[in-house]
Amino acid sequence: MIRNLTEQDKEHLQEALVKSGQKVTPQREAVFTVLLAERDHPTVDEVFNRAREVMPGLSLATVYNCLETFVGCGLVRQVNHERESTRYCPNLAPHAHFRDKETGQVHDIELPPEVMKSLRSILPPGFDSEVIEISFLGRAQAKDTHSN
């Protein structure tokens, strides 16, 4: 695990950072690598602990900073469930989140455009929404090993 970024991932990272006037740094690469390695919606602490394995001097503050930067330039999404610690998701496709009440795992749920449309359609006139968050809470049959 924590295999390296592909060239494509590196370009993605660099482009998004540079486009918003920021730099690629070893810390940012390490944090981004962690996010792409296991798409299990880790918390800041989980990202921190995983990233430290490959960059021991990394600080928690920097992990917060990197993740904030990534959110700011659209590289990752924040995922909140009730009052739990914020989690991070590098899946840029429109999707909802399903949290397993038993395991706490968070799964991505694909969100077809037709459903998005039906959601937008329930807004009364005068309401304009940029962001729609959808989260399910329930139980998922543990039939996959790869957490996503």
Q: Which residues bind its own copies (CB under 8 A)?
A: 78, 80, 82-83, 86, 96, 98, 101, 107, 109-112, 114-115, 118-119, 121-141, 143
C-beta of 94: minimal distance to Mn ion in Å?
A: 18
Whether 86 contacts 43, CB under 8 Å: yes
**Cα torsion 46, 49, 50, 52: sign:** positive
Residue 74 binding DNA, by CB under 7 A: no
Cβ 113 vs Cβ 102: under 8 Å: no
Contact 106, 97 (CB under 8 A): yes
62 lies in the binding site for DNA (CB under 7 A): yes
Of the pair 23, 146, the CB lying nearest DNA is at: 23
Is 66 a binding residue for DNA by CB under 7 A? The answer is yes
Residue 102 makes contact with Mn ion by CB under 5 A? no
Question: What Cα–Cα distance (Å) separates residue 7 from each residue in 46, 49, 92, 109?
Answer: 25, 25, 18, 27
Interface residues toward Mn ion, by CB under 5 A: 107, 144, 148
